[in-house]
Amino acid sequence: MSKIAALIAREIRAQVYSPVAWIVWTLFLFLAGWMFVGIVHQFLEIVENTTAYAQYMSNPELLERVNLNELVVSGLFSNLLVLFVFLIPALTMRGFADERRQGTDELLLTAPVSPGQIVAGKFLGLVAVSEVLVLGAAFYVLVLLHYGDPEHGPIATGLLGLAIVVAALTALGFAVSTFTKSQVVAAVGSFVLFLLLFVVNWPAESAQGAVRELLLGLSLPAHYDGFAKGNVAMGDVLYFASLGALGLFAARTTIASQRWR
């Protein structure tokens, strides 16, 4: 256990000492802020228009349909998902690729730690760094809570969903970084993989039967929708858990097979 703790601490230290993590966090805050401001302005416009329309129709109930949760919170969270596709590969690309390039894999693989412990330590360290992005997202939610009155339930599940997505993508990105010595290859590889999870359902419209179901079932944003709306389904949790488990299993297998080359 203390070996895993040492690996976690080393991973966090390596990430925080390198400029990459800081650049990614900063870019995320900037882009998320930009999206947030845009979405809030859009919301205000809708409120204004609806107010005028409600007065014209003498029907104040119309205003109640304009929902802060649906329009702002859920909209913001869905857009953040797209940011993860671009930014998480930058955090996970060091992963194991850099160990290989620096030769430090020889240190890890000749120390009395199992491949499973290496994966656990490095993954948990990486997750600690990438979950900072979700803390950044939570900041904008606090702004909303201060000035508006959104429902708390969907906000909580939405943030939880973001944290789960970040963990799953980090596991997959780490797995990709175990396949190569090059950080660039690792970054591009995970980016393409993540993007594929976003567009995998596009041909579903023209497909039929089981293929259609499969393509729809693999889509990442479709499985996040429930979280953003406040209803967490077992299937969605299982989907992200499977992605994460697949990533960690692949990473462990590659690291364990290193000795047998």
Partner 1 sequence: MIEVRGLGKRYGDIAALQDVSFRVERGEIAGFLGPNGAGKTTTLRILSTYLTPDTGTATVAGWDAASRPMEVRRRLGYLPEHPPLDLDSTVVEYLGFCAALRGVPRAKRRAAVSAVIERCGLASVAGRLLGNLSKGFRQRAGLAQALVHGPEVIVLDEPTVGLDPQQILEIRNLIRGLAGDHTVLLSSHILPEVAKTCVRAVVIHRGRIAADVAIDPAAGAGALEETFLRATSLEDGAAVASGGAGA
Contacting residues toward partner 1, per CB under 8 A: 2-3, 5-7, 9-10, 13-14, 17-18, 102-114, 258-261
Residue 115 CB, shortest distance to partner 1, in Å, is 11
Q: Identify which of residues 108 and 141 has a Cβ nearer to partner 1 in the complex.
A: 108
Q: Identify which of residues 102 and 231 has a Cβ nearer to partner 1 in the complex.
A: 102
Q: Identify which of residues 107 and 142 has a Cβ nearer to partner 1 in the complex.
A: 107
Report yes or no: 71 and 46 within 8 Å, Cβ to Cβ: yes
Extract the tokens encoding 179. Answer: 């396949």
Residue 114 phi/psi, 5° resolution?
A: -85, 160
3-state secondary structure 26-90: HHHHHHHHHHHHHHHHHHHHHHHHHHHHHHHHCCHHHHHHCCHHHHHHHHHHHHHHHHHHHHHHH
Q: Identify which of residues 146 and 259 has a Cβ nearer to partner 1 in the complex.
A: 259
Q: Identify which of residues 69 and 254 has a Cβ nearer to partner 1 in the complex.
A: 254
Q: Is 212 buried (19+), middle (13-18) or exposed (0-12) by CB count in 10 A? A: middle
Residue 125 CB, shortest distance to partner 1, in Å, is 12
Q: Identify which of residues 107 and 214 has a Cβ nearer to partner 1 in the complex.
A: 107
Residue 108 CB, shortest distance to partner 1, in Å, is 8
Residue 126 CB, shortest distance to partner 1, in Å, is 16
Residue 110 CB, shortest distance to partner 1, in Å, is 4
Sign of the four-CA dihedral 184, 186, 192, 198: negative
Residue 15 CB, shortest distance to partner 1, in Å, is 10
